[in-house]
Structure 1
Amino acid sequence: MASSLVAGERLVRALGPGGELGPENLPRKLRAELEAALGENHKSGDSPGGPRRLVSFGLIRDLHQHLRERDSTLYLHELLEGSEIYLPDVVKPPRNPELVARLEKIKIQLANEEYKRITRNITCQDSRHGGTLSDLGKEVAAAFVCGYLGSQYIFTEMASRVLAALIVASVVGMAELYVMVRAMEGELGEL
């Protein structure tokens, strides 16, 4: 959290010799504290300009109070022109390896639960829900109709078309029964 600011050139000039905040315009204690703050250089790792002159908000508040009490024509916002709020670098503590391992385990568990939630209504890939006899009837009927309509391009007689459709429906029915039996064997093997 910010508790100080980087003093701009305007504030430094005002406190310097011949400035608006000369020794006659400020109480001795406040001036000494401001000069001490501006005299200290604080190094910052990310500052390209090198050391910085930091002034605490408390000193700025005291300066503002003094200017108000004296009904000065010099305003605080004019003095702080070119100044910036100083945000110190945040040092992150090292992470606990136990905590990291637990978090990874929880992330994996949550991802698995999310995957199960998303895929819970998908039955075509689940071998335990391989199909029912009502599905078998629909699939065989669809194969018969497809075979019957498709055979009209090959055969002209009705008997040939029906026979071709029965053969296609029989093949599809046998294949579906085979898959259902294999799925049931797998379920019985898991018990």
Structure 2
Amino acid sequence: MGCDVKLPRPEVEPRNQELEARIQCLKARQANREYKAMTRNVDTFRVHEPEETISYHLKQMNKQLIAVLQFIISVLAGFAFGFIGIELIVGNLDFGFRLLLGVIFALIIALAEIYFLAKKLSEDIPSTLTPPEQRAFPTAKPHQE
């Protein structure tokens, strides 16, 4: 009177070879970074990489601050043009209409700025936009003693 319940087993698909190669490359890079971090204070004669210096980080921070300030200033200038500039060109306009024009101009400029910021960020990271078959996976191996 015993009953057995037999459940189907899911089929295990083998991993993609390209994925495996990329995983191995990323593991090797991470191992190299960890090794360099561990031995950074030991070898005083080794040339430091630019990513380790304070000036490199300050330059990166300045780039981001300049981009934010440029965004804010251009949006404010667009609002000022829509709010004040159109009235100077056309003549007396209602306050609500001027406010609406200012907001419309500011939104258009904000959208354009966001587009160009996204485009600039995508140029900084070229490996994510190239097709997988065109990516080169360097065979970086961790330092072994």
Higher RCO, 1 or 2 (CA under 8 Å, sep at least 6)?
A: 2
Give 1 or 2: higher strand fraction: 1
TM class by shorter chain equals: 0.3 to 0.5
Q: Output the TM-score relative to the length of structure 2.
A: 0.39
Give 1 or 2: higher helix fraction: 2
Max Rg structure: 1
